Amino acid sequence: MAKVAIEILIPRNSIGNVIYTAVKPEVEDVKSRRTHVTLEKKGQVLTLGIRASDITAARAAVNSFIRLLHVVIDVSKVVEDGV
């Protein structure tokens, strides 16, 4: 079994709420039997937890969720800056 925890420090709580709200449905809709994903928000820290039956499934989930988080954070910055 492979376990991964990714913690993200969010500078402002409002952006943390946006990121959590955007990513949570994807976390709840993981279709793999080999992977279980959780997302928690405590204050200004978002924690993405990935538990997989093997390292290949863990790597795939990590790559997918890091990519998704990157897109959500970038879009949040664009919206916030009004660009």
DSSP 37-71: EEEEEETTEEEEEEEESSHHHHHHHHHHHHHHHHH
| Short-list 52, 43, 48, CA closest to 69 | 48
Predicted confidence at residue 76, as pLDDT, reads 84
Architecture of domain 2-81: 2-Layer Sandwich (3.30)
In tens, the pLDDT along 17-73 reads 889 999 999 999 998 899 999 999 998 999 999 999 999 999 999 999 999 999 998
Distance of CA 22 to the CA centre of its chain: 9
Instruction: Enter the pTM of the model.
Output: 0.85
